Structure 1
Amino acid sequence: MKDLHSRHRAVLPDWLALYYDTPLELTHGEGRHVWDAEGRRYLDFFGGILTTMTAHALPEVTKAVADQAGRIIHSSTLYLNRPMVDLAERVATLSGIPDARVFFTTSGTEANDTALLLATAHRRSNQILAMRNSYHGRSFTAVGITGNQTWSPTSLSPLQTLYVHGGVRTRGPYAALSDAEFIEACVADLRDMLGQARGVAALIAEPVQGVGGFTSPPDGLYAAFRDVLAEHGVLWIADEVQTGWGRTGDHFWGWQAHGASGPPDLLTFAKGIGNGMSIGGVVGRAEIMNSLDANSISTFGGSPVTMAAGLANLTYLLEHDLQGNARRVGGLLIERLRAVCAQVPFVHEVRGRGLMIGIELVRPGTDEANPQAAAAVLEAAREGGLLIGKGGGHSTSVLRIAPPLSLTVTEAEEGAAILEHALRDA
């Protein structure tokens, strides 16, 4: 393990983060569990950053990958691709967007990058509205609109970005307001900003901010935003890279919690749909998706192997009602964690939907972020046999919990018990 860590540090950049004081090498997984190189088993409550959506080594997905790889692995978008068309039809229907078109990419970063290209080309403007504390990917364009400065290494960008209030309910100038007053204040801020800007192309927003610490506004905010945006012809891009496919339990897409009068103009997706295979994409109104007036292809987006995996994974998710499981088991888990954390003085808040739960840690008696406690809990949870993630606004002080959507009640109880000990040890 030490030798592999030394080799990693010798050939990979310093900014490529690793969890844990002694980094972990995962060698295989099954169901909701993974094993390290020393043979120790862990309950996985992070799923490769919300990517292993159904289960590790899901037979239906591994068989689909093997069968497709035995036929043809790659062709590019220059040729007809049956698995890509099949998956695009399913995604277009599930999106709820009328006359939808789908473009596949290899990651969520690339999906958001494509959505920004489409929106700016369609609107003939490079002005973008983004949410404070947001995260949209690692590319030059995506970091340029990312509101979480911890994950935005440069102020240079091809886009002009203005940041809007509303993504974080419990912090900032509107935190003390009621939900209705909060929405009213954020909408007023948006109106004021649009009154001073000219020709904004789009607003991009995560229904639940992922890297930002699983924060979200009150239900209804983005519906109210959409009404204002429509008055100005501004497009709405819903970044569903972490919230899509039923993870939030009550809804298939995160934007649906806001009761909007209609779906977003563009919706980006990735992570869970591939269950570990590299799939991202954009689905949107044909008028916008068809608006590029230059040639374009994708070498790896829509690969036959990844599309076969996505189809098998999506079929399994729908046939086994994993959205319903996320709602039921996630509801039990969050209540269990709230009971546990009520006895821990450095827990500020337990929040989330379905199997997307955040525990924000602060210095006792204050609202000051406590990244040291988060790091300590992460280590203690690992020692107890549980893998979780972390994130947050200006510091990584939020524990992120996002198991595969097939999590059982027994596994939820087991994970909560380990986390309780980890919190008390920290």
Structure 2
Amino acid sequence: MTDDLLGRHRAVLPDWLALYYEEPLEITHGEGRHVWDAHGNRYLDFFGGILTTMTAHALPEITKAVSEQAGRIIHSSTLYLNRPMVELAERIAQLSGIPDARVFFTTSGTEANDTALLLATTYRRSNTILAMRNSYHGRSFSSVGITGNSGWSPTSLSPLQTLYVHGGVRTRGPYAGLSDGEFIAACVEDLEDLLGHTRPPAALIAEPIQGVGGFTSPPDGLYAAFREVLNERGILWIADEVQTGWGRTGEHFWGWQAHGRNGPPDLMTFAKGIGNGMSIGGVVARSEIMNCLDSNSISTFGGTQITMAAGLANLNYLVEHDLQGNARRVGGLLIERLRAAAAQVPAVWEVRGRGLMIGIEVTKPGTDEADPKAATAVLEAAREGGLLLGKGGGHNTSCLRVAPPLSLNVAEAEEGAAILENALRSIR
């Protein structure tokens, strides 16, 4: 039973391992855009295992690919030739837009970002990293050290010197009142000033849309403008596409493409959705950057055959069924529906996002002061109504995160919006 499982969880797992809900949920199975708990309750899933079940639960094409691969061989490590790994790497290299790209597979987004930091600092012979305020890049020692969100950075001890840049959050901070053009110009000026006071950094790492930070983003073109400054100094650009990749934003396949005036990033990291729940992460980089390491390396579990089979099947499905287009169409309808509902709720400060990546920030009515208790109350009320959401934000997790599988249909979007509207109206 769930109550017994909760006690066992608390007895053997860390206190800091977060659980949603006053009465935590055990999910036992799923199908399509729905999941069921241990008591048989059915929920519309608008969070997809933190944006990881990107296509659908129990998708037959992926289930078949995993089952067939498991019947042959599950794992052999990178010490042997691996056909599924090569095939998926070829696809990702081509889709990345990075010239002469090389791909290295990991087991998570954290490990992917950690690898990108290793490559960038080695290539540039610098341990200084530029990162965005309100950012999140993982839970390893190095990725925690560059995370610009104090709620997810438990230590300031780090092997890296991190300098934080303005621009990841459009509607807060000293430049919030500026026009988009003025905002970009002010952030570029801030970056140039910062670079005038420090040793040359290795790279700027940035999420095109900040995930854990509450689905915040700058105006289109900010990172293109940053890139001009970086290129003048030989500083690399790492695009963290762990949450934005594979068409989730609807308008583009990759989040960086909204800022692509000066070409693709030097390095790009990915994870989450490509495996549709299987543990896949990775880095794509120009060959001279990827090949800059002068010692041997392997990955025991990165690129293992069973995860690569899942990734290939998932990538084929999302491309063949134009799930990027579906995210644009259904996501556009959903965000407008949520904005209309939120206009009637004084506690909703902002509804933002693109495609099927939508944030609803909850504040004390009439102010921009975060109200995490109210956000938690909405999360609970939505669950009672049969809808699972996420939370995030740089201001005490006061943002509700909406990120359903990309196969969401119009009827399900309307159903979820109605439940969420009722939950928002329950705020007292």
SS at match of 2:196: helix
Give the Cα–Cα distance (whole angstroms) in 1 for the partners of residues 248 and 200 of structure 2. Answer: 35
Quote the offset at 1:258 in angstroms.
1.6
In structure 2, C-alpha distance between the alignment counterparts of 1:227 and 1:240, rounded to whole Å: 20
What is the correspondence of 1:256-275 to structure 2 with a 5 Å cutoff? 256-275=257-276
1:237 is matched with 238
Q: Is residue 24 from structure 1 mapped to residue 22 from structure 2 by the alignment?
A: no
Match of 1:174 in 2: 175
Identity of aligned residues (%): 84
**1:425 deviation in Å?**
1.4
Alpha-carbon distance, 1:229 to partner: 0.2
Q: Which residue of 2 aligns with 1:298?
A: 299
The match for 1:138 is 139
CA displacement 1:310-350 (0-9 Å, x = unmatched): 00000000000000000000000000000000000000000
**Aligned equivalents of 1:98 and 1:258: distance in 2?**
17
Q: The residue matched to 1:259 in structure 2 has which SS?
A: helix
What is the CA-CA distance between 1:168 and the residue it aligns to? 0.2
Aligned partner of residue 70 in structure 1, secondary structure:
helix
Q: Deviations over 1:153-202 (max 9, x none)?
A: 00000000000000000000000111000000000000111111112100
What's the secondary structure of 1:196's corresponding residue?
Answer: coil
SS at match of 1:260: helix
How far apart, in 1, do the equivalents of 2:395 and 2:151 lie?
Answer: 6
AA at the equivalent of 1:253: W
**Contact between 1:149 and 1:394, CA under 8 Å: does it hold in 2?**
no
**Structure 1, unpaired ranges of 5+:** none
* 2:94 matched residue in structure 1: 93
The separation in 1 between residues aligned to 2:295 and 2:372, in whole angstroms, is 47
Q: 2:149 matched to which residue of 1?
A: 148
Deviations 1:21-73 (A, max 9, x none): 00000000000000000011000000000000000000000111010010001
Contact 1:381 1:419 in 2 (8 A): yes
Distance across 2 between alignment mates of 1:144 and 1:322: 35
CA contact (8 A) 1:140 1:157 kept: yes
Native 8 Å contact 1:47 1:404 kept in 2: yes
Tell me, yes or no, if the aligned pair for 1:240 and 1:268 is still in contact at 8 Å: yes
Are the counterparts in 2 of residues 371 and 396 from structure 1 also a CA contact under 8 Å? yes
**Secondary structure at 1:421 match in 2:** helix
Residue ranges of structure 2 left out of the alignment (5+ in a row): none
Following superposition, the deviation at residue 87 of structure 1 comes to 0.1
Q: How many Å separate the matches in 1 of 2:200 and 2:119?
A: 15
Residue of structure 1 in register with 2:228 after alignment: 227
Matched, 1:403 2:417: no
1:365 Cα shift?
1.3
What is the alpha-carbon distance in structure 2 between the residues aligned to residue 54 and residue 363 of structure 1?
35
Question: In the alignment, is the contact (CA less than 8 A) between 1:269 and 1:280 conserved in 2?
Answer: yes
Shift of residue 124 of structure 1? 0.5
Count of aligned residue pairs for this structure pair: 426
1:23-422 to 2 correspondences below 5 Å? 23-422=24-423
Letter in 2 for 1:387: L
- Which amino acid letter does the alignment assign opposite residue 289 of structure 1? M
- Matched residue of 2:261: which SS? coil
CA contact (8 A) 1:219 1:259 kept: no
In the alignment, the residues of structure 2 paired with residue 149 and residue 206 of structure 1 have an alpha-carbon distance, to the nearest angstrom, of 17
Cα distance between partner residues in 2 of 1:119 and 1:417: 46
How far, CA to CA, are the matches of 2:361 and 2:180 in structure 1? 20
CA distance in 2, matches of 1:24, 1:148: 26
Quick check: 1:226–1:260 contact (8 Å CA) kept in 2?
no
Show CA shifts across 1:1-39 (max 9, x none).
111000000000000000000000000000000000001
Native 8 Å contact 1:241 1:270 kept in 2 = yes
> Are the counterparts in 2 of residues 77 and 302 from structure 1 also a CA contact under 8 Å?
yes
CA distance in 1, matches of 2:260, 2:187: 17
- Specify the code of the residue in structure 1 equivalent to 2:342: C
CA deviation after TM superposition for structure 1 residue 260, in Å? 2.4
Contact 1:132 1:163 in 2 (8 A): yes
Partner AA of 2:362 in structure 1 = L
- Give CA-to-partner distance per residue, 1:376-409, whole Å, 9 cap, x none: 0000000000000000003110000000000000
CA RMSD of aligned residues (A): 0.5
Q: Distance in 2 between matches of 1:256 and 1:3?
A: 47
How many Å separate the matches in 2 of 1:412 and 1:159? 43
